[in-house]
Structures are given as structure tokens and as C-alpha cells.
Amino acid sequence: MPSASSTASSAEPRILILATTACAYPAADATGQAHLHYPANTFVLRVPSPVLFPDDFYYDCFEKGIGGILVMSCGHEWPYVGAFAKLAARVDRVKLGLKERGIDPQRLRLSAICTVCTKPFLKEIDELEQLMAAVTGVVPEVAA
């Protein structure tokens, strides 16, 4: 988990995680409580429902320098009926828009993370980090 005093190098692409309050944010919290570490260039934003973010939000993030976005939700077990299907459709639509803009659509990922899924939480970050490192050649620092 990044410490308050650690900052990501300006050369490192930043990862934004949209973590649902009901599932993924507790997983991020459990990761920190277990003293597990992930790169300092990772920023977790606690949100009630990522489906509330319009398509332009994602495009703006990439235009403003975010290297990758992980949308972590509860999956089909989400407390908001039909929200996951709408979110999945939105992410698919945004990926097409990213491709049209010349941005690798793999830099946007949607995953289902449960409240205690620390290993899948870290795996998603690691896979996106590897993708971004392959593209940029910049290897991220891991906060101690």
C-alpha cells in the first residue's frame, strides 16, 4: 500500500482505481491491513457505483495523464440491480472510443472484486502495471 509520504515518479504512468464502496474498497482496505504492497503510482477512489461516471470521464482521465483505469466492482452480486450490466456495456463502449482515439483499450479494465479479495486486487494492479511497463518501458516503484 502506498504510504502518505511516498509519491509516484512523474515518469510512472498513474493507475486510477474506481473501487465500489460495497466490495472493492473493502478489498483495498484489507490489502492495506494485511500490509501487502502495490505500486506508489496507484490511486484508489472510493465510489458508490462506477456506473455513475459518464463515458467522457474515462476519456478525460486518459487525456490528463492517467496511464490506466481499473474499475473494480462487486460483479453481478452488486446491490444495485442491473448496474453491473450497464457498467459492463459502458466499459465496452468506452474501450471502442479509446481505440478510435489511438489509446490502447487494454488500459481500461473491469473486474469483480469481493470484500476480502486481496490477491485478485493485487493481481489486477500487477497486470495493468505490466501492460503499461511494456508500453512505456518505465518500471514502477513499489512502496515499502
Residue 4 lies in a domain: no
Rounded CA separation 103/107 (Å) = 8
Residue 5 lies in a domain: no
Residue 33 lies in a domain: yes
Number of structural domains, the chain?
A: 1
pLDDT digits (tens, 9 = 90+) for 58-102: 999 999 999 999 999 987 776 677 888 999 999 999 999 999 999
Point out which residues pair with 71 in neighbouring strands.
18, 110
pTM for the complete prediction?
0.85
Residue 122 lies in a domain: yes
Residue 117 lies in a domain: yes
Determine the structural domain holding residue 132 and report its residue range: 17-136
Residue 47 lies in a domain: yes
Q: Band the pLDDT of 3: cuts 50, 70, 90.
A: very low
Q: Which residue, 79, 67, 143, is CA-closest to 109?
A: 67
Sign of CA dihedral 69, 65, 26, 7: positive
Residue 1 lies in a domain: no
Residue 142 lies in a domain: no
CA 91 to chain centre: 12
Asked if 49 and 89 touch (Cβ cutoff 8 Å), the reply is no
